[in-house]
Amino acid sequence: MTTQRQRPCNAKIVATLGPASADRSTIEALVRAGADVFRLNFSHGTHADHKQRLDLIRSIEADLGTPIGVLLDLQGPKLRVGTFAGGPVKLVEGAAFRLDLDTEKQGDATRAPMPHPEIFAALKPGAELLLDDGRLRLKVEKSGKDFAETTVVNGGMLSDRKGVNVPGVVLPLSALTKKDLADLEFGLTLGIDWIALSFVQRPEDITEVKAIVQGRAGIVAKLEKPAAIEALDAILAETDAVMVARGDLGVEMPAEQVPAIQKRIVRECRRLGKPVIVATQMLESMVSAPVPTRAEASDVATAIYDGADAVMLSAESASGKFPIEAVAMMNRIIERTEADPQYRDAIDASHTRPSANTADAVSWAARSVAGLLDVAAMVAYTSSGSSALRMSRERPRAPIIGMTPRRATARRLALAWGVNPVLCHDVMNVTEMTEVAVATAAKQGFAQKGQTIVIAAGMPFGAPGTTNLLRIAQVE
């Protein structure tokens, strides 16, 4: 066990790596600025690029003695129109526009190839197609297995290979493409901690990837489709964590609905004790400016007030001009928000009663004891991470130390609200566990002599998901 940095705030920061943050000094600076988890976006870059960045992360982790989580974000199926013979075309409102599978013939102002038979198979008259991130909107008038006749509802310029969204339609597509399967296997060989699955529409998408992962990484369901929101409860039951991917969600659903959906997802994840990340455009202006807009700062703060486990930076840290400043700014917003007395009031007011099971009962009791005794720290001794996640669910006032003998578990816990993951050795009995917990709390600076800590664990040790022990100890 080594002494590591203490995070001064509970909510975590996920920072995406890219061309602007590919060297060792920048990545280390991002960690020191507040990054807890790094996202490797497999929509961009080569396997060699991602391996190099992961190697740097692990080297920095060893030097700093701080478990760092790594999230592999799979690209998922990308639906796009084909190419146009004479360059960009203008679609005029009210005009007819045809989409079909004829990729041999390039598009023009009246038609375009769309090489996705799955879309045509799912379309019905009245369905809508959104092109180029929702900038253009088409209404389906007639469709078949290889074509769709549409009317342009919102016109504009359309160019080669722009994206296609089909809101309100569950497409007969797996969330895993051939590229995703190759990326997934590659990431698992590297020891990735979390897998973010794009294009989730139904719980079966999560089941499919879990069968491949076999517990080697946690699964993050990216919620970016209306179909996923409709199946939210079933998806949350299957996944390990969630990302509120507001970019595509804001394309496929009216923008005014996204804030309420975000709050609903965060609330449900908190109730279930599953980490939730709020993502997309949080500090977007910092891609090119050294400071965010006031609206962006408020956006981040809102996610923190709601109790999100983590907030995420995308282009801000991957390709922007100010990656370190963006992480530092997000960290300051979190610190200031969590220092607001109304933050604690909001967290306590939105706290929900746990489920009627032993693990939740122990975590709920630990929170109650911590409140009564004003403990210095709460310790979850955990093999799988379950005890620490249940304790995190309670959103206690005292800091949480997630003690684990498994390095992979420590790294995954870097994503969880309030959890300070610490790698320790295996313990043989309750007495040794208590001694190690007390020593860890003191050495890491969470507790001083004479203060009280609360310890939750599962017996027998090493058996995942068996939180059934609560112990109170004094630091001597």
* 3-class SS of residue 249: helix
DSSP of 111-132, one letter per residue?
EEE---HHHHHH--TT-EEEET
Q: How far apart are the first and last CA of the chain?
A: 19
Rounded Cα distance, 42 and 54, in Å: 13
Rounded Cα distance, 109 and 7, in Å: 55
Catalytic member of 80, 179, 263, 471: 80
> Does residue 460 have a cis bond before it (omega within 30 degrees)?
yes
Cα angle vertex 466, ends 464, 467, to 5°? Answer: 120
Rounded Cα distance, 423 and 223, in Å: 32
Catalytic member of 39, 137, 225, 390: 39
Please indicate whether residue 7 is annotated as part of the active site. no
Please indicate whether residue 39 is annotated as part of the active site. yes
Q: Is the dihedral of CA 32, 343, 270, 221 positive or negative?
A: negative
Catalytic member of 16, 150, 280, 382: 280
Cα angle vertex 366, ends 305, 13, to 5°? Answer: 35
Burial of 178 (0-12, 13-18, 19+ CB in 10 A): exposed
Please indicate whether residue 397 is annotated as part of the active site. no
Please indicate whether residue 80 is annotated as part of the active site. yes
Q: Token pair for residue 388? A: 């620490």
Q: How far, CA to CA in Å, does 327 sit from each of 32, 247, 262, 266, 473?
A: 9, 20, 22, 22, 37
Q: How many CA atoms lie within 13 A of 418 on its CB side?
A: 25
Catalytic member of 222, 225, 390, 395: 222
253 φ, ψ (degrees, to nearest 5): -125, 155
Rounded Cα distance, 9 and 331, in Å: 8
Residues 6+ apart with CB under 8 A from 9: 34, 331, 334, 335, 338
Please list the active-site residues: 39, 80, 222, 280
